[in-house]
Structure 1
Amino acid sequence: MSVLAWPAWAGDCRDDLVKLRGPWGQAQFTVEIADSVRERSRGLMFRDSLPKNGGMLFIYARPTFVSFWMKNTRIPLDMIFLDERGVVRRVHHDAVPGDLKQIPGGPGILAVLEINGGQARAFGIAEGSEMQHRAFDVGAAWPCE
């Protein structure tokens, strides 16, 4: 995996692209959006793979307490929980396919990014990292330009 340089995508803010930054560097993922109850409840269930730098961004109408599980999910995932400013509040590494154990993100979560298991650790994505996406336009830690 390689971390992309800042100038290559600094001002590009699209619905299907998230960018993360922190002391570890920067990364970007092409995402599908899950912003309805139906889309969020299905998530990445029943899929056999996810593109290397792909993911799904779950967006809620307002910050809330969220909890995920891996029922009917066939691939290991990292879950990145973000507040209303796009700041990472929690990272759950390598969620186990099919596991019914609840994975809490905590209160005040506006969005959750699911990516392939192991990628968050490989990039260094951790609490305090910032995401750029249109979902965080108002008061964002890393606003769209």
Structure 2
Amino acid sequence: MPALLSRRALLTGAGVGIVGLAVAAQPWPAQAQEPVAFETDRLAIVTHDGRRYPFTVEVARTPKQRARGLMYRRDMAADHGMLFDYRGVGSRAMWMKNTYIPLDILFLERDGRVWSIAADTTPLSERTIMADGPIRAALEVKAGTCRLLGIEVGDDVRHPLFGDPPLDGPS
């Protein structure tokens, strides 16, 4: 009987260990399951030829919000995005780790002018996406948006973060 109990205990322990390994191997780390709230706001991208495109954005202001960004999301509306407020000017680096949506990333100067664009980024990539310049913020939109709307380096993003008045209209 003691041998049977030992065997049963061993099998139970092995089963618990296998379940533990399976849970640990999931691509959803514990912090991914913690909700991160974002403020929603409106902005407009104004192209070099005067066309104006409104977007509804979530604003990432805190380190926790900026670290999460659009990670773990599977879709986003074409007129939505995420605005990263770095609260200062400097070179910036981003990556696509745990981000399933291909994106265009617009790196923005202090006044909202587009400094550079990383177009059609690769989902889940850990490759560093650098913007070596006076970057105040970044705007992530669905991949292909810049090409479709003709958004280029030098165009303007209008939002109170850059000293512009709030954009009127429904969210």
Structures share a fold, TM > 0.5? yes
CA–CA distance in structure 2, aligned partners of residues 106 and 29 of structure 1: 26
Cα drift, residue 61 of structure 1? 1.1
CA–CA distance in structure 1, aligned partners of residues 131 and 161 of structure 2: 18
Gaps of 5+ in 2: 1-39, 167-171
CA–CA distance in structure 2, aligned partners of residues 60 and 23 of structure 1: 25
Alignment of 1:134 with 2:160, yes or no, is yes
Cα drift, residue 107 of structure 1? 2.3
User: Between Structure 1 and Structure 2, which shows a larger proportion of helix residues?
Assistant: 2
Count residues with an aligned counterpart. Answer: 126
Q: Secondary structure at the match of 1:121?
A: helix
Q: Higher RCO, 1 or 2 (CA under 8 Å, sep at least 6)?
A: 1
Cα drift, residue 106 of structure 1? 1.7
Q: For the pair shown, which has the larger CA radius of gyration, 1 or 2?
A: 2
After TM superposition, the runs of 4+ consecutive aligned structure 1 residues lying more than 2 A away are: none
1:26 corresponds to: 52
2:73 to 29, 47, 56: 47
CA–CA distance in structure 2, aligned partners of residues 67 and 126 of structure 1: 20
- TM superposition score normalised by structure 1: 0.83
What is the percentage of aligned positions where both structures have the same residue?
A: 35
CA–CA distance in structure 2, aligned partners of residues 130 and 144 of structure 1: 14
User: Between Structure 1 and Structure 2, which shows a larger proportion of strand residues?
Assistant: 1
Deviates more, 1:18-27 or 1:46-55: 18-27
CA–CA distance in structure 2, aligned partners of residues 98 and 131 of structure 1: 27
Cα drift, residue 23 of structure 1? 2.5
Alignment of 1:144 with 2:165, yes or no, is yes
Gaps of 5+ in 1: 1-14, 138-142
Q: Secondary structure at the match of 1:94?
A: coil
